[in-house]
Amino acid sequence: MSEITSRPPSPPIHPNRAEYVRDTVRDGGDFGVVEKPLTPWERIYNQAWVRKLFIVTMLALAWQGYASCMNVIDFSGVMKIPVNLSVGLPVGLNWIAAFGIAFVNWILWIVEVVATLPWLIYKGAMTVNAGKCEPRPLLLPLFTVTVSALWDALYSGELLFKGLNTLRLLFQGYGTGLFLAAIMTTLAILTTIGNDFLETMTAMLNPLPAIALLPLALIWFGLGDKSIIFVLVHSVLWAVALNTHSGFKSVSNTLRMVGRNYGLGGFSYVCRILIPAAFPSILTGLKIGWAFAWRTLIAAELVFGASSGQGGLGWYIYESKNQLEIPSVYAGLLMVVIIGLLVENLIFKKIEAATVRKWGMQT
């Protein structure tokens, strides 16, 4: 038997080809600047509240400047086409012609604003330099005067009391509307008849303005809180129910099957599967319902007046208008805006950050 001779082992082959071999970087500076610190200006600009504060400040300055020189800007001299509805045309064609003429007048106004804006800026600068600006406080008071009127009304407690009364009615109507919307959407997602009922009622009543129900509310409930709450419930219910139901229907079948496999059903299925998955749509419905309720409440107070011997922000605005206290009118409107900003940034933003942003459902 011949001896088996073994060949010498071959030299090891380098795992990397020569053209892909890279020298080890020993000095970290060869990479250049990997992380660059932000400048103070970038740090300030990245703050959302700073940007929003800047926008509000610019609006306040524009208000102050425009109110100071209202005699400079005047668009009342625009050429208009006269509207004459007694030209012997049929009624339908008559109104169509009137609508067309009104549209043309609106286009002419826009053209005049754009064409004369540079001249108005120059004229305004010359007027300011000459000290001939004339404010018109009955049309638009100065921003500083409005803020002063707002502070005086808050300091006296009158505006604060009326604001709290308005918020009390708002929370009652908004909470009742949310409760009814939750019941209706739960029944709609669990039963067929509930789904048909919600779709039918939403199609019928959602386009109906809440302010149009004021006469019925007066007849049914009289002049008081119940009438206002009834109108608020109508403005909140359908907006929230529609967005919530749409969000439930958009939940993927995979999540639905996960809930079924875990044995969830009924109320637990809605709370643990549908609500978290559809919460972006639900949050949008909450915001829309809040906006509808807020606007409806101010309008209802303007129409109803004092409710049960008390009055809200709408009634404060209406009383100030009757007494020609125009700064107080704008102070009431400014209070409405401030409350809206506080609710949006202190309540809805916090809910959004703790839910949909934390869950990665929104960027």
Q: What is the pLDDT of residue 233?
A: 92
What confidence score (pLDDT) does residue 178 get? 93
Give the C-alpha separation, 231 to 208, whole Å: 11
The confidence score (pLDDT) of residue 133 equals 59
Ordered structural domains, the chain, with CATH: 41-141 (no CATH), 145-354 (1.10.3720.10)
DSSP string, 215-272: HHHHHHH-SSHHHHHHHHHHHHHHHHHHHHHHHHHTS-HHHHHHHHHTT--THHHIII
Residues of the chain with pLDDT under 70: 1-35, 69-103, 105-106, 108-109, 112-135, 304-310, 363
By residue count, the chain amounts to 363
Tokens of 149: 């009127």
CB 239 within 8 A of CB 285: yes
Residues 247-280: tens digit of each pLDDT: 888 888 888 888 888 777 777 888 888 888 888 8
- Is residue 327 within 8 A of residue 148, CB to CB? The reply is yes
Residues 6+ apart with CB under 8 A from 25: 31
pLDDT of residue 7: 62
Structure confidence at residue 22 (pLDDT): 59
- The whole-angstrom distance between residue 258's C-alpha and the CA centroid of its chain comes to 35
- Among 149, 141, 166, 154, residue whose Cα is nearest residue 315: 166
pLDDT at site 218: 82
pLDDT digits (tens, 9 = 90+) for 145-165: 888 888 988 888 888 888 888
Strand partners, 310: 307
Largest CA distance in the chain: 129
